Amino acid sequence: MVNRKKMTHEEHVELAQAMSCIMPALQHALITAGNKLGVTSKACKRLNKAIVKYNEARSALDDEYHKVTSNSQFTDRGHVYYETRTSSRPSSQQLSGDAS
């Protein structure tokens, strides 16, 4: 039997940050290829398949993320694999203006 390791919440946050530029880059490539080569071109079809596969992988990672993320961590970070941002979500204290 294989002893599988699990990622921590922090490792998921770090990985999601590293992956955050992939979808915009794939979408840009797909639009460019579609406009220049045509949407039925081999390149455009392969880019579309790459986006589908990337989304499948991202969904699987998101499932694992939710297994190791507490409610309070989720409140702070949100859907890390699906939201594009450079820093963490403001905490509820920061939103309400409390400085305590």
Is the residue at 88 inside a domain?
no
The boundaries of the domain holding residue 38 are: 10-68
- Assigned domain for 28 exists: yes
In a domain, 100, yes or no: no
**Whole-structure pTM over 0.85, yes or no?**
no
Residue 79 pLDDT: 93
Is the residue at 3 inside a domain? Answer: no
With respect to residue 95, please indicate whether it lies within any of the assigned structural domains.
no
Residue 22 lies in a domain: yes
Task: Tell me if 89 is assigned to some domain.
Answer: no
For residue 58, is it within any domain?
yes
Gap between the Cα atoms of 23 and 55, Å rounded: 9
Q: What is the pLDDT of residues 14-29, one digit of tens each?
A: 999 999 999 999 999 9
